[in-house]
Structure 1
Amino acid sequence: MLTVYSEEHALHAGGAELNAGALVPSYEVPSRVEVILARVRSAGLGPVVAPEDHGLGPVERVHSPRFLEFLSTAWEQWHACGHREAALPQIWPSRHLRAVEPDNIVGKLGYYCFDASTPLVAGTWRAAYAAAQVALSAAGRLASQGARRERAAFALCRPPGHHAASDLYGGYCFLNNAAIAAQALRDAGAARVAVLDVDYHHGNGTQAIFYDRSDVLFLSLHCEPRTEFPFFLGYADERGAGEGEGYNVNYPLPRGSDFGAWSEALEDACRRIERHAPDALVISLGVDTYKGDPVGSFRLESADFATYGRRLAQLRRPTVFVMEGGYAVEEIGINAVNVLQGFDEASG
């Protein structure tokens, strides 16, 4: 399997996040991707290539131009005010306040970011832009003709993306790499696309982007949002709106769920994907479902990741895997590559 990777991910290193009332070292660190990359190479998964630059056009198909302008200039605005530490919001347009974009960068951060765990630093925009290009390049190889065409590709993205909506970032995510890949596949001729999110946390940004559309089926397996981040989306009764009604499917699972319960939800999701008959499949590959993950409570073993990789291969669809969460850094490479190897083995 082809892997697409950019060294520019390392330009984003937030350092600290607000957690349980204290600034703590960030869980989302550059070493996550380097450990995965080392495992990709040691396992002989396949070639590793740098992304092509597709420009902002495909990104603007998912994210609003004003939001992109903010992200690309936020650090300069923050720095111009004399701030030297990472930029984190401290006020939000919550209930009973107006959602008006302020001129002051402190207010802008709260307007565009929904949490205090997603620091923005000098290299954030370049890293996020590169991650989007990684996803676009992996999706492009599925849509290519001739020798360049791949049946599956791995977009080794960082920062992750599935919490980012069209004009909102948070949850360590700035640009929604999986949604950008899905839209690019649509624009390349895929009549229908399915996005399956297997991260421990609900893919609230991806859901919001495609919520009123029937051409992109979105399915998410995640921990029950009444007890887990992002708390305010991911419930089972969120089924889409308008033309998209019935094309959004959530599987909220209790804290502590093991592979038995998780795989039952996966099997239902796979059957729905088969009925949708997509021309391409995007997997938001979070491996924070692992039993030792510091920000999750599910109890999947490393071998379980290979098992469900084989099940995904049985869908027989051109597939792009887009890296999302996973914060047990020592095991992240094993778990992510187990999915990909399981998929390759079952693909024949």
Structure 2
Amino acid sequence: MKAVYTERHRSHDPQFFLVRGVVRRTTEQPERADRLLKGLAAGSHDLVEPTVFGQGPRARIHSPEYLRFLAEGWEEWSALGDAGPEMIANIHPVRQAATYPTSIVGKLGWHTADTGCPIGPGTWAGACAATDVAVTAAQLVMDGEDASYALCRPPGHHAYHDMAGGFCFLNNSAIAAAHLRLRHERVAILDVDVHHGNGTQGIFYSRADVLTVSIHADPKNYYPFVWGYTHERGEGAGLGANLNIPLPIGAGDDAYLLALDSARKTIAAFAPGALVVALGLDASEHDPLKGLSITTDGFSRIGAAIARMGLPTVFVQEGGYLSDVLGDNLTAVLGGFQGAR
């Protein structure tokens, strides 16, 4: 399987992470990519440099105001003179009868859903590089590859049409799906991250051409807390094109594979032309953010189950944080997929 990767992700090196009122170093560190690269090497995957696609694929998903904010915000923030080393909002307007702000402090609150997405001087460059990685992987499949893998960093599935959140700025999985839509009438996104793919759900919630399915830890007790419930099924034209399968905190391999079988049936009924897998490896039993308890063998079985869906597949890296088995789990899921193909 070809794997798309660029060193340009290193320009994004966030520091701030607020956990239950305690400030810590974020778990979304550049070292994640190094460990994932070891997993790719163990699986003998061919590394491919991404094509630079420019703003077009991003603009299919994100608003002009939001893209302008991300591109220009750091300069505006720095011009304040007394601002901190990262852009972190102190307001989050609920947008009830609200007016789009002109101040960078106001824009920052408007365009961020939480404090888990600090913006630094290299964030825009890193996020743009991640979208190029995702679109290149999608293009490989459109050009005839059976499957491809996009090592995206920063991740993207918590990013909405015009809001960052949860380590995510540009929604790589959604952008890959929109690119695949240039070829296919319908595309499905299967999110296997431990966290609900709330941004992806929000982007496609009213659309009938992209099915969004998310298997995740129960949001009653886990981020993002207010999205990811079973009654969220889409709206308007998209009613029925969204499926959430929350699992109890700590659920393991067998429970996960049962949920994946339910997801498979929904995806088969939708009959998409291609599949995007929002690949979170943070469902691991060893992940520092602890939500589910998937073993390395479990990831291999997950990969095999996805392969049996029989669809051209683009794996887009989402979560998966610093643990000794992070690379092993990537090797396992891609190896399980290839072994069952």
TM-score range, shorter chain: over 0.9
Contact 2:155 2:171 in 1 (8 A): yes
Question: Is the deviation greater in 245-254 or in 86-95?
Answer: 86-95
Q: Figure out how many residues of one structure are paired with residues of the other and give that number.
A: 340
Q: In the TM superposition, what is the alpha-carbon distance from 1:98 to its structure 2 partner?
A: 4.7
Specify the code of the residue in structure 2 equivalent to 1:155.
A
Within the candidate set 211, 221, 224, 1:227 is matched to 221
Question: Is the deviation greater in 291-300 or in 113-122?
Answer: 291-300
CA distance in 1, matches of 2:80, 2:181: 42
Percent identity of paired positions between Structure 1 and Structure 2:
45
The answer to whether 1:154 aligns with 2:149 is yes
Specify the code of the residue in structure 2 equivalent to 1:11.
S
Contact 1:99 1:111 in 2 (8 A): no
TM-score, length-scaled by structure 2: 0.97
CA distance in 2, matches of 1:105, 1:139: 34
The answer to whether 1:50 aligns with 2:44 is no
Q: What does residue 209 of structure 2 align with?
A: 215
Question: Is the deviation greater in 338-347 or in 103-112?
Answer: 103-112
Q: What does residue 237 of structure 1 align with?
A: 231
Q: What does residue 17 of structure 1 align with?
A: 17
Q: How does 1:250-265 map to 2 (within 5 A)?
A: 250-265=244-259
Q: In the TM superposition, what is the alpha-carbon distance from 1:43 to its structure 2 partner?
A: 2.6
Name stretches of at least 5 consecutive residues in structure 1 with no aligned partner. Answer: none
Q: What does residue 168 of structure 1 align with?
A: 163
Residue aligned with 1:213, SS: coil
**Deviations, residues 192-228 of structure 1 (Å, cap 9, x unaligned):** 1000000000000000111111111110001111111
Q: How does 1:96-107 map to 2 (within 5 A)?
A: 98-107=97-106
CA distance in 2, matches of 1:16, 1:34: 21
CA distance in 2, matches of 1:84, 1:213: 39
The answer to whether 1:122 aligns with 2:121 is yes
Contact 2:288 2:323 in 1 (8 A): no
Q: What does residue 28 of structure 1 align with?
A: 28
Specify the code of the residue in structure 1 equivalent to 2:116.
S
CA distance in 2, matches of 1:268, 1:306: 18
CA distance in 2, matches of 1:175, 1:251: 24
**Deviations, residues 12-71 of structure 1 (Å, cap 9, x unaligned):** 001122222122101100010111112211331x21011001111111011111110000
Q: In the TM superposition, what is the alpha-carbon distance from 1:76 to its structure 2 partner?
A: 0.9
Contact 2:42 2:331 in 1 (8 A): no
CA distance in 2, matches of 1:26, 1:174: 15
Q: How does 1:337-348 map to 2 (within 5 A)?
A: 337-347=331-341
Q: What does residue 91 of structure 2 align with?
A: 91
Name stretches of at least 5 consecutive residues in structure 2 with no aligned partner. Answer: none
Within the candidate set 287, 300, 305, 1:306 is matched to 300
Contact 2:286 2:323 in 1 (8 A): no
Contact 1:19 1:117 in 2 (8 A): no
Aligned CA RMSD, in angstroms, stands at 1.2
Q: In the TM superposition, what is the alpha-carbon distance from 1:99 to its structure 2 partner?
A: 3.5
Specify the code of the residue in structure 2 equivalent to 1:222.
H
Within the candidate set 181, 184, 188, 2:176 is matched to 181
Specify the code of the residue in structure 2 equivalent to 1:115.
D
TM-score, length-scaled by structure 1: 0.95
Q: What does residue 74 of structure 2 align with?
A: 75
Residue aligned with 2:326, SS: helix
Question: Is the deviation greater in 77-86 or in 207-216?
Answer: 77-86
